[in-house]
């Protein structure tokens, strides 16, 4: 352009074309500038798109890595669960797998040697059987299931006619937990536990629940038959863990209901099942000896077959107090009637003493059933109050039902 500008002008027509040329050139430049801007815009856009795609790619790569490790995990073989039974050093640990045999194994270096303790549960690699991990809790889930978290509803007021027994159980269980100093100052060891025995339906379980209601101690309830397990040594381990849990949560009360299912007299029996039950009981005896009397763990046992219980369970030092829960007498039956009719709307014709006299030989559970049945009769007759008539019919009905179930037919006897 400079060169053209410097050329001398020739004709008017030529200069015009020159102007035109300049004009067109200017236009061209402007157009080019516009184009540049446009392209720059486009470039920016592509640039940001590229950045977006880049992050997207990174995200997908991460996802792939995650899925790959997930697949890896799903493909990895299961770990064997075992219990550590002895520790020599980090590389020599004796474990017993849940299937039975014992192994001397190595441990992963990531395991804290603090955690390598006999009794801890761990996982083993399937091939090398090396300890891979220590499981957090060494209690059986079943033991945790036994712990009563909610306080039972029943209180001492809901028990009729067992005043003396309530005093005894309070002394033996509640007092040592609430006032251990009393025993210290006198210099005697408080009882370790009590055994409640008596005929069915007389309120043994009820009494234990009332104790749990009135103390703030942890209440752990097991039924004897729950401690009878399928595999050898399992029952004994459950008992051990039960007491460990009780100690950990102390003050606590262990309530073993229907204790006769593990505490029956040892005899020369041959089936392995019986021997396993005996082992469970021996563990129970050992645990009851083992813990300190002043420790804050109390045991309550309940049974209606004290006659078949092993003598070792009954000797002082195990259950120090053996409390009989008899069939209720007249006064007792009256009290029980009073408790179970507390919330019923009763006609004036009903005299509780009368009812108590009519129910000689009945237990607390019967009396509760009688009250319910009497209520049912009133409902059936569409009355708003329960009359004496209803109670009399109910007593008859409950009595009949009882006899129907308890007179064994010859066929029943054959299968019994």
Ligand X SMILES: Nc1ncnc2c1ncn2[C@@H]1O[C@H](COP(=O)(O)OP(=O)(O)OP(=O)(O)O)[C@@H](O)[C@H]1O
Among 152, 176, 191, 203, binds ligand X (CB under 6 A): 203
Within residues 306-335, the interface with ligand X by CB under 6 A covers 328
Number of residues that bind ligand X (CB under 6 A): 19
Comparison of 148 and 358: residue with beta carbon closer to Mg ion = 148
From residue 97, how far is each of 121, 152, 250, 283 by CA, in Å? 10, 39, 31, 21
Q: Name residue 219's beta-bridge partners.
A: 148, 253
**Whole-number minimum distance, CB 183 to Mg ion, in Å?**
29
Which residue in the shown chain puts its C-beta closest to Mg ion?
205
Query: How many Cβ atoms from other residues are within 10 Å of residue 404's Cβ?
Result: 8
The verdict on 301 binding ligand X (CB under 6 A) reads no
Comparison of 245 and 346: residue with beta carbon closer to ligand X = 346
Interatomic CA distance for residues 132 and 82, integer angstroms: 11
Comparison of 168 and 258: residue with beta carbon closer to Mg ion = 258
Q: In this structure, what is the dihedral angle of CA atoms 52, 53, 59, 62, given to the nearest 10 degrees?
A: -140
DSSP 111-172: S-GGG--TT-EEEE-TTT--EEEE-S--S-HHHHHHEE-SPPS--GGG--S-HHHHHHHIII
Interatomic CA distance for residues 22 and 207, integer angstroms: 115
**Whole-number minimum distance, CB 169 to Mg ion, in Å?**
15
The verdict on 204 binding ligand X (CB under 6 A) reads yes
Q: Which does 359 bind (CB under 5 to 8 A by kind): ligand X, Mg ion, none?
A: none
**Whole-number minimum distance, CB 118 to ligand X, in Å?**
38
Within residues 249-288, the interface with Mg ion by CB under 5 A covers none
Comparison of 165 and 205: residue with beta carbon closer to Mg ion = 205
The verdict on 160 binding ligand X (CB under 6 A) reads yes
Q: Which does 203 bind (CB under 5 to 8 A by kind): ligand X, Mg ion, none?
A: ligand X
Q: Contact 84/118 with Cβ under 8 angstroms?
A: yes
Within residues 186-215, the interface with Mg ion by CB under 5 A covers 205
The verdict on 202 binding ligand X (CB under 6 A) reads yes
Interatomic CA distance for residues 238 and 49, integer angstroms: 65
C-alpha closest to that of 279 among 221, 223, 227: 227
**Whole-number minimum distance, CB 155 to ligand X, in Å?**
11
Comparison of 93 and 369: residue with beta carbon closer to ligand X = 369
Interatomic CA distance for residues 206 and 335, integer angstroms: 15
The verdict on 304 binding ligand X (CB under 6 A) reads yes
Give 3-state DSSP helix, strand, coil % of the chain, rounded to 5: 55, 15, 30
Binding site for ligand X (CB under 6 A): 159-162, 200-206, 302, 304, 328, 336, 339, 364-365, 368
């Amino acid at each position: 352009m400079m060169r053209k500008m410097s050329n001398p002008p020739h004709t008017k027509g030529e200069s015009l074309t020159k102007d035109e040329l300049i004009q067109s050139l200017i236009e061209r430049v402007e157009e080019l500038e516009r184009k540049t801007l446009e392209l720059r815009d486009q470039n920016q856009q592509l640039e940001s798109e590229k950045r977006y795609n880049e992050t997207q790619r990174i995200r997908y790569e991460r996802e792939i890595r995650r899925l790959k490790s997930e697949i890896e995990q799903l493909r990895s073989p299961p770990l064997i669960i075992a219990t550590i039974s002895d520790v020599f050093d980090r590389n020599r640990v004796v474990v017993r797998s849940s299937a039975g045999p014992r192994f001397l194994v190595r441990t992963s270096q990531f395991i804290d040697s603090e955690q390598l303790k006999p009794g801890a549960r761990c996982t083993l690699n399937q091939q090398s059987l090396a300890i891979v991990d220590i499981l957090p809790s060494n209690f059986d889930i079943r033991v945790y299931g036994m712990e009563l978290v909610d306080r039972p509803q029943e209180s001492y007021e809901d028990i009729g006619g067992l005043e003396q027994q309530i005093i005894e159980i309070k002394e033996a269980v509640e007092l040592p937990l609430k006032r251990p100093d009393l025993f210290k100052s006198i210099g005697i060891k408080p009882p370790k536990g009590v055994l409640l025995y008596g005929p069915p339906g007389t309120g043994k379980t009820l009494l234990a629940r009332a104790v749990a209601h009135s103390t703030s101690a942890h209440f752990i309830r097991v039924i004897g038959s729950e401690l009878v397990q399928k595999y050898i040594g399992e029952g004994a381990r459950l008992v051990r863990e039960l007491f460990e849990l009780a100690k950990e949560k102390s003050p606590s009360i262990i309530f073993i209901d229907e204790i006769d299912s593990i505490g029956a007299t040892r005899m020369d029996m041959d089936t392995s099942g019986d021997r396993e039950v005996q082992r469970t009981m021996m563990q129970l005896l050992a645990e009851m000896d083992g813990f300190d009397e002043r420790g804050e763990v109390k045991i309550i046992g309940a049974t209606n077959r004290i006659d078949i219980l092993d003598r070792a369970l009954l000797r002082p030092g195990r259950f120090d107090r053996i409390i009989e829960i008899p069939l209720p007498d007249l006064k007792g039956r009256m009290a029980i009637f009073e408790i179970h009719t507390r919330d019923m709307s009763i006609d004036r014709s009903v005299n509780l003493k009368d009812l108590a006299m009519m129910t000689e030989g009945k237990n607390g559970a019967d009396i509760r059933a009688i009250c319910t049945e009497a209520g049912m009769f009133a409902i059936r007759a569409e009355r708003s109050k329960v009359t004496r008539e209803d109670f009399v019919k109910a007593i008859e009905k409950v009595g009949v039902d009882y006899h129907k179930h308890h007179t064994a037919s010859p066929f029943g006897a054959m299968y019994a």
